[in-house]
Structure 1
């Protein structure tokens, strides 16, 4: 397979995964910073999960692993083109430094670096769940998928790739996302915490409820709570609350104790990468776009 065939194969594969989205191969767009036409291997543009989004895919056909310099160059490229997300696909693997640079970057742009053989996992890497006029662009952490199909009781859920939602909930690690709109019944975060903690004390006998240090964001305050109880057996619960002026977004992790540290990092990753937005509706109250 040549590099050109490699890019065409990936393009066609993405077109099969996202049939309702405009996916173009080898296009040029003017950079906002460079003021020059930039060549894009694959551009995913238009409607993704029901909303407008721009994703740029870079296809690396190397005889060596992708390194940290390749990742840093692509991050600058994404910034110049004002992309929402970036996907770097490599045929020959990547270094640990490259993976860490892509996965734990603190910019607003999210970059996903994956092996060519893992293309199937892209189908569930992105979603835009919403409640009333509030929404969040969320991504699944590496090795997981996000499910916001509307076919379950969760606005969105996250769990390891290869498992069903039910399997992950009962046998592995599982995260669900919820919105708490601030009103007279649920006015603020302290009120929400008090009501949830009271509910835990009614459900469990002498639960241990603690608050821990966690990651930080500039646009909101984050609170991490852990609930542990004898009745929970080998499961423990962590919840991260993102406190915004009009709404609280919270993500609850249910995880087996043997996976606790690894799964908690997944939860924090989701909280770090989340992009808060507002839904724009048409006259028929159908969501048509997102305002960030």
Structure 2
């Protein structure tokens, strides 16, 4: 079994922490997970940093070690000292490459409950990628921004009726994301006549939502939004939600690229905060390409 994180650039410890945060969120829905937490040291008199703090009946500190070698006893003692300083009894050290024998013995022989966990890249889907998502259908392609702490998934790209691109938080696979995490997907919309409006292109999807969720209401806004190049395009932003909520809120952004349109849809789970800005940021960080010529569109 490989322990090399081929999906992360060398030294990308922030990416590893984001992946662990996503893994924990998938395992413990409803638990408040605070990344880059700070707690006051009772003995040191200074603020101590914790990679991820799980706020529960008994809080747990998670330390993520993206090392090229095994975690040693010195690292374990450092974490034990931090736990003792901030008054926490439980901690977890997470790594991708394992622990030395001395580190394991030291963790097992202390008053603090310190667990050692090995999180390897085999939890990742082979379809996931860390780079910015690029979708294309001649004559245009779109390179979108990637949400911080998310991954891009292409598993359904070639499936009949499948989205050409999906994004969701690191730590999830496609199925777990679709059943408990915010998910963004993108598709091209072909203008069969050539002069369809965004409202006409959006109508079939809206009718499907209304049929499945008769209690849902639609907030629709027509705006001009600019992408990374500063080019403004006609957009339709639609938010579908019901009271009471049955299956969360759906945000959809339709963007007119002339010969065709692109729809970005964000499906938010029940109880999620307003995520419309996330969807807009993905578009605002995008830029089009002329895939027939292999160059960025002017």
- State yes or no: 1:182 paired with 2:225: no
- Whose helix fraction is larger, Structure 1's or Structure 2's? 1
- Give the direction of change, closer, same or farther, for the CA distance of 1:132–1:167 in structure 2 (3 Å limit): same
Structure with bigger gyration radius:
2
- Which ranges of 4 or more aligned residues in structure 1 deviate by more than 6 Å? none
CA distance in structure 1 between the partners assigned to 2:213 and 2:188 by the alignment: 24
Unaligned runs of 5+ in 1: 1-12, 19-56, 60-92, 94-114, 282-288
Alpha-carbon distance, 1:212 to partner: 4.5
- Give the direction of change, closer, same or farther, for the CA distance of 1:229–1:185 in structure 2 (3 Å limit): farther
Matched with 1:193 is 202
Tell me, what secondary structure is at the counterpart of 1:172? coil
Are the equivalent residues in 1 in contact too, given 2:224–2:233 (CA < 8 A)? no
Matched with 1:277 is 289
Tell me the C-alpha RMSD between the 2 structures: 3.7
Deviation sequence 1:209-267 (CA, Å, 0-9, x none): 11258782133122210112368614111101111211111111110243232x33321
Alpha-carbon distance, 1:133 to partner: 2.3
TM-score, L = length of structure 2: 0.50
Matched with 1:235 is 248
- Give the direction of change, closer, same or farther, for the CA distance of 1:129–1:257 in structure 2 (3 Å limit): same
Are the equivalent residues in 1 in contact too, given 2:198–2:236 (CA < 8 A)? no
TM-score, L = length of structure 1: 0.51
Match runs of 1:95-114 below 5 Å: none
Unaligned runs of 5+ in 2: 12-35, 37-63, 68-120
- Give the direction of change, closer, same or farther, for the CA distance of 1:163–1:225 in structure 2 (3 Å limit): same
Deviation sequence 1:36-89 (CA, Å, 0-9, x none): xxxxxxxxxxxxxxxxxxxxx9x9xxxxxxxxxxxxxxxxxxxxxxxxxxxxxx
Are the equivalent residues in 1 in contact too, given 2:184–2:266 (CA < 8 A)? yes
CA distance in structure 1 between the partners assigned to 2:65 and 2:269 by the alignment: 31
